Amino acid sequence: MSKKLLEVKNLKQYFKVGGSFFKPRYVKAVDNVSLFINKGETLGLVGESGCGKTTLGRTILRLYEPTGGQIIYDGQDITKADMLPYRRKMQIVFQDPYASLDPRMTVGDIVGEAIDIHKLAKNKKERQEIIISMLERVGLNSEHANRYPHEFSGGQRQRIGIARALAVNPEFIVCDEPVSALDVSIQAQIINMFEELQEAMGLTYLFIAHDLSVVKHISQRIGVMYLGKLVELAESNELIFHCAHPYTKSLISAIPIADPVTARSSKRIVLEGDVPSPLNPPSGCRFRTRCPYATELCAEKEPELREISPGHYTACHHFDKID
Amino acid sequence: MRELLLDIRNERLSFFTPAGEVKALNDVSIQLYKGDVLGIVGESGSGKSVTAYSIMQLLPQNAKIIGGTIDFNGHRINDMTEEDMRKIRGNEVSIIFQDPMTSLNPVYTIGNQIIEVIMLHTNKTRKEALERAEELLALVGINEPKKRLKQYPHELSGGMRQRVMIAIALACEPKLLIADEPTTALDVTIQAQILELMMELKEKLGMTIIMITHDLGIVARMCEKIAVMYAGKIVEYGSVDEIFYNPQHEYTKGLLRSIPRLNDKDKKKLVPIPGTPVDLLNPPAGCPFAPRCDSCMKICLREMPPYTTIKDDHFSACWLLQKKEFEQGGGKK
Amino acid sequence: MSDNKKNILSFQLDVSDFLPANEEEKQSLVVMRESVSFWRDGLRRFRKNKIGMASLIVIILIMIFAFVMPEFYPYSYEQQIRGSENLAPMQYSKQELERIANGEKVFPHILGTDSLGRDQMVRVMMGSRISLTVGIVASILVLMIGSIYGTIAGYFGGKVDLIMMRIVDIIYTVPDILIIILLMVTLKYPLKNLADNNPAFSWINTLGVGLICIFIVFSLLYWVGMARIVRSQILSIKEQEFVTAAKALGASHSRIIRKHLLTNAMGTLIATTTLQIPSSIFIESFLSFIGIGVAAPMPSLGSMAALAIDGIYSYPYRLMAPAIMISLIILSFNLLGDALRDAFDPKLKN
């Protein structure tokens, strides 16, 4: 029976964006999302821009204060707790390898910052040893420790970011689009490294990306988000081959397959129109304005996330009509 | 008899920067016939965008063509003055850029930006140009075109802005359309819409397209021919079926092995290409891919490999292929 | 494509060429460029800027002129030499001529003397010393107060920022000259009493109440420009992902401010402070010119200019010397500040 390492219940993250003092307007970036991640597992989270997946990842780490709901880590409610001890257990790897490293610090200091904050080394020598072992773990070496981030390529910088996250020996890592900004040939290196590290260190990942192929490769379970809502959650193969939400279906269909024969023959489901504004989401089901299966019911009543088969959840009134 | 539209021969191009000479293009040759859809695939630093920009002479001051020739539609691009280039840009050859958020001018209406190119290259009056602009917006699938002409870029979404860019590019019915990563900045579902649109337009208008991208899925769908570039050189060139099902260059093979496939049911481990992309300030003497190649031989480090013909219209620059020929020739040449 | 096949016969190939290459041979091609930190990079850019380097050299020369030379000069700034009043540059008085005739070596008055027989050259030196000291000390005061204020406003944002910046807006509207005069009037006697009765505060008399008031006013009013600049720097750096990364590691507010925000803003801070110096010098000169400022006999370039106005037709050089000196100091610092900004401003980096 696998243990739940992280659970979020009815998590809300609303950002105020203007409006008057008495009637403020909000962007409901994350709106009532519940999910859990088991220890040692990778949960993938996909969606397009504006769906809230990045906000969800950062809210879990309390980088934004949640507007509502609960975050439970290893059985403890950390929604309002002092985060410092948890910062050692929960870490994050960012998307942009160019912006996420302080350009004025050496690589060694970047990796060592966590050691300094949490006082993980007794003296300078030990600190240096930890830093070098972290660098080696991600495929760099000790002579890189004295250099500056701008001297490295994107893939190497991402490795430095991962080394920084590993320095505290965490249990749980939020991977916020860690390979999206990298070249294709480097992406595979970094993806493999994530997998190896997971095995070696027993890590649990929340893997956020917009590329479903990458997410499917690395995750055991996948959640799909749209405009702040979790619309489907299932085991990876189940999601790809037996999806139960029209949005998931169109997302899968939209991905260009790197195989000419399949690409020429596959039927494409092309959605009409654009993503609605998150300031003014449609009533009822948020996806209904672009959904080929939408009915009046969809406009009136918002579908709840329901379990339709063991481990497979969907938020759609008409999931049984999807072939 | 197919019309040869673009003939690039042995182009060499470098950027002269304060840090040194960046050899961006190293002996690139492309022959493009009317109606072809060519995909140029490569990663950052491969030179794919630079090749396209050099056709339109849109490169910064410090970029110089130091060798080779570019012939397009009867013009020798190397010899043309800026004034001559302005006559053909937007007119005979157009480009769609990557980021629709920044390629449109925020202080002019959509209508103004479309008619700008029409009035630059044709004799139409403003009224006629606006009518044509409306036609174009309908052609690219924008609803309520008359209303859109008066709107500003910030009022449109990313997908719609890209459609407007396509409309501007098509306004003067160019012979060649260059699309530089047109969907990279867009969401996947919007990307699908734009690619569908481009396929439709290609059918309708019979355009010649150069599609620059790093996404092998896009070229599999859209292109007939593919040029794989690495470090300023075309390392493999062939039809789309040949490249995907019979890749000959180690880099091409490596790319195909390293991308995660949605359709795989069982978990296959990705086989990445080791190492990091080449530093164009200091390119190696031999094959630029050599340091990352599992089958690297001694000669690969010394000499640039010549092109070997694998089939009709399928070439690759690799010493391994030369080795086969060499061995067949009895070990001595 | 067909033209590209190299002529194989043009060089010798043999079997050994096709042997696999080992790791070392491959790695030797991958070499990292020499490491360069932000400061070294900036200094390199600064050194290339000829105007910047030239102004730096001029400033160093002026510093030597103002701080070192008076110690070795035969005349002092308050020394009134009877009989040598109103001499022209390089002119000797009757008494001095007599002394030379007697075989004594008399150092010439290079810029002449004023109506009280004081050597102008050494007074220009001392005046420059005052101007530079005031300029630099005032700018450091402005830097410290402004950056602390701006950092707090920018980092904490929200209501804190709102209130703090409204205070800044109010301070901006205060007329500085009025305040200085008011302060001078109210503080003159209390400070003088303090100086006379308490030996520890006797330096007040040397500097003069005016100068003290100038420093007080700078601390009260002039830091607002720096605060705004620092705040905007902090606001933009704060949004960068490496700051979020530090937060995710568990860094405290003070750590983030010290190690991430201020270090990244340093280049702009240095350049802005350097540009603040000429502004402070000008204000001091102006105040001394209109009579509020350093007390006589301590010369200030501004007060020397004021004294020289009266005799401007007979002794034009008495105005020109301090005026040229002020201009030179201000121009050099402005050019230096510009060059520093070009060298260290990250936005101009490509």
Write down the pLDDT at residue C5. 42
| Residue range A191-224, pLDDT digits in tens | 999 999 999 999 999 999 988 999 999 999 999 9
CB contact under 8 A, A254 and B188: yes
Residue B2 has pLDDT above 60, yes or no: yes
Report the alpha-carbon distance of residue A310 to residue C308 in Å, rounded. Answer: 97
Residue C346 has pLDDT above 60, yes or no: no
Residue C29 has pLDDT above 60, yes or no: no
Do B55 and B7 contact (CB within 8 A), yes or no? Answer: no
Residue C285 has pLDDT above 60, yes or no: yes
Nearest 10 degrees: Cα torsion A57, A58, A61, A62: -140
Write down the pLDDT at residue A73. 93
Is the CB of residue B259 less than 8 Å away from at least one CB of chain A?
Answer: yes
Write down the pLDDT at residue C207. 66
Is the CB of residue C162 less than 8 Å away from at least one CB of chain A?
Answer: no
Sequence-distant (6+) residues with CB within 8 A of B122 are B129, B172
CB contact under 8 A, B272 and A188: yes
| Residue range A248-291, pLDDT digits in tens | 998 998 888 888 888 887 777 777 777 787 888 888 899 988 88
Report the alpha-carbon distance of residue C13 to residue B322 in Å, rounded. Answer: 11
Partners of residue C33 in chain B, C-beta under 8 Å: 279, 281
CB contact under 8 A, B301 and C26: yes
| Residue range C50-82, pLDDT digits in tens | 899 999 999 999 999 988 888 888 888 888 887
Do A280 and A263 contact (CB within 8 A), yes or no? Answer: no
Is the CB of residue A268 less than 8 Å away from at least one CB of chain B?
Answer: yes
Residues 146-185 of A with CB under 8 A from B: 153-156, 183-185
Residue B170, classed as helix, strand or coil, is helix
Q: Residue range A215-240: average pLDDT?
A: 93
Nearest 10 degrees: Cα torsion B53, B55, B57, B60: 30
Residue A323 has pLDDT above 70, yes or no: no
Write down the pLDDT at residue B112. 92
Report the alpha-carbon distance of residue B120 to residue B113 in Å, rounded. Answer: 11
Which residue blocks in B125-226 are alpha helix, DSSP H? Answer: 126-139, 145-149, 158-170, 188-205, 216-222
Q: Residue range B164-192: average pLDDT?
A: 89
Q: Report the Cα–Cα distance between both ends of chain B, in Å, rounded.
A: 38
Residue C8 has pLDDT above 60, yes or no: no
Report the alpha-carbon distance of residue C342 to residue C270 in Å, rounded. Answer: 11
Write down the pLDDT at residue A176. 93
Which H or E run contains C158? helix C158-173
CB contact under 8 A, A185 and B216: no
* Residue B324 banded pLDDT, cuts 50, 70, 90: confident
Sequence-distant (6+) residues with CB within 8 A of A109 are none
| Residue range C18-28, pLDDT digits in tens | 777 766 666 66
Which H or E run contains A28? strand A24-38
Report the alpha-carbon distance of residue A227 to residue A229 in Å, rounded. Answer: 6
Residue A243 has pLDDT above 70, yes or no: yes
Query: Who wins on pLDDT, C274 or B269?
Result: C274
Write down the pLDDT at residue A49. 83
Tokens matching residue A249 = 């279906």
Q: In the sheet that B225-230 helps form, which strands lie side by side, from edge to edge?
A: B93-96, B176-180, B208-213, B37-41, B225-230, B233-239, B314-317, B307-311
Partners of residue B295 in chain C, C-beta under 8 Å: 20
Block residue for tokens 């596959």: A266
Report the alpha-carbon distance of residue A315 to residue A305 in Å, rounded. Answer: 4
> Which of A131-140, B168-177, B278-287, C340-349 is predicted with the least confidence, judged by mean pLDDT?
C340-349
Quickly count: other Cβ atoms within 10 Å of residue A292's Cβ: 12
Do A93 and A174 contact (CB within 8 A), yes or no? Answer: yes
Partners of residue C349 in chain A, C-beta under 8 Å: none
Q: How far is CA A287 from CA A247, A271, B44, B70, C145, in A?
A: 7, 11, 36, 49, 53
Query: Who wins on pLDDT, C317 or A173?
Result: A173
Report the alpha-carbon distance of residue C109 to residue C95 in Å, rounded. Answer: 13
CB contact under 8 A, A94 and C249: no
Residue C349 has pLDDT above 50, yes or no: no
Residue B198 has pLDDT above 50, yes or no: yes
Write down the pLDDT at residue C100. 83
Report the alpha-carbon distance of residue B9 to residue B7 in Å, rounded. Answer: 6
What is the 8-class DSSP label of residue B89?
A: B
Do B25 and B222 contact (CB within 8 A), yes or no? Answer: no
Residues 260-299 of B with CB under 8 A from A: 260-265, 267, 269-274, 276-277
Partners of residue A168 in chain C, C-beta under 8 Å: 249
CB contact under 8 A, B220 and A260: yes
Sequence-distant (6+) residues with CB within 8 A of C61 are none
Sequence-distant (6+) residues with CB within 8 A of B242 are B310, B311, B314
Residue B333 has pLDDT above 60, yes or no: no
CB contact under 8 A, C250 and A83: yes
Mean model confidence pLDDT for chain B: 88
The answer to whether the bond into B305 is cis (omega within 30° of 0) is no
Do C339 and C51 contact (CB within 8 A), yes or no? Answer: yes
| Residue range A134-148, pLDDT digits in tens | 999 998 888 888 888
| Residue range A9-57, pLDDT digits in tens | 999 999 888 766 777 788 889 999 999 999 999 999 999 888 899 999 9
Write down the pLDDT at residue B253. 93
| Residue range A89-117, pLDDT digits in tens | 999 999 998 889 998 889 999 999 989 99
Report the alpha-carbon distance of residue A62 to residue C250 in Å, rounded. Answer: 11
**Which runs of E-coded beta strand occur in chain B?**
4-17, 20-33, 37-41, 63-72, 75-76, 93-96, 176-180, 208-213, 225-230, 233-239, 307-311, 314-317
Model's pTM, two decimal places? 0.84
* Among the partner residues C241, C250, C346, nearest to A117 by beta-carbon distance: C250
Write down the pLDDT at residue C35. 66
Tokens matching residue B22 = 């960046």
In which region does residue B307 sit, left (phi positive, over 0), alpha (psi from -120 to 50) or beta (all else)? Answer: beta
Tokens matching residue A252 = 């899968």
